[in-house]
Amino acid sequence: MSYDPDNIFAKILRGEIPCHKVYEDDATLAFMDVMPQVDGHTLVIPKAPSRNLLDADPAALGPLMVSVQKVANAVRKAFAAEGILIKQFNEPAAGQTVFHLHVHILPRSAGSELRPHSGKMADHALLARHAEMIRSALTA
């Protein structure tokens, strides 16, 4: 399977569709998942194109994980989470629905249930507020 440059995350990277951005550097971009499984559900993507982990340039993986760690710590702080769940799906059989490599960051605490994957669209004002909370935690 090849990379489709018109996938939704490629469009976000090109600025063709909006996102609630929390972090960006030369190699990566992090933004709120629009159908969050839990408040604070954030995605981190490399700027380099690949469908998923399996076809990614190994050189893109180090910078990606550095950003995942940075954003995960900020999400943990912003949402006072007891733990952080990291998820990453490869190909439809494994649950992947958007075909540009991405890593999910989900804050977890005892008693909070996860909502369904790719479930209900969140309110944009709420996502904007959550993005602001994470950006503040990144700079604190």
Q: Binding of ligand 5GP at residue 96 (CB under 6 A)?
A: yes
Stretch that binds ligand 5GP, among 31-39, 54-62, 64-72, 129-137 (CB under 6 A): 31-39
CB 48 within 8 A of CB 56: yes
CB 33 within 8 A of CB 22: no
Nearer to ligand 5GP, 31 or 79 (CB): 31
- Residue 57: partners with Cβ closer than 8 Å, 6 or more residues away: 48, 50
Work out which of 27, 34, 53, 85 binds ligand 5GP, going by CB under 6 A. 34
In angstroms, what CA-CA distances link 17 with 11, 61, 65, 113, 121? Answer: 6, 25, 25, 30, 16
Query: How big is the chain, counted in residues?
Result: 140
Q: Binding of ligand 5GP at residue 33 (CB under 6 A)?
A: yes
Q: Binding of ligand 5GP at residue 118 (CB under 6 A)?
A: yes
Nearer to ligand 5GP, 43 or 78 (CB): 43
The alpha helices in the chain, defined as continuous H runs, are 8-13, 58-78, 124-139
Q: Binding of ligand 5GP at residue 66 (CB under 6 A)?
A: no
Work out which of 4, 25, 97, 132 binds ligand 5GP, going by CB under 6 A. 97
Q: How far is the CB of 139 from ligand 5GP (least distance, A)?
A: 22
> For residue 113, how many other CB atoms are within 10 A of its CB?
6
Task: Report, as residue numbers or ranges, the catalytic residues.
Answer: 102
Residues of this chain that bind ligand 5GP (CB under 6 A): 8, 19, 31-35, 89, 95-98, 117-118
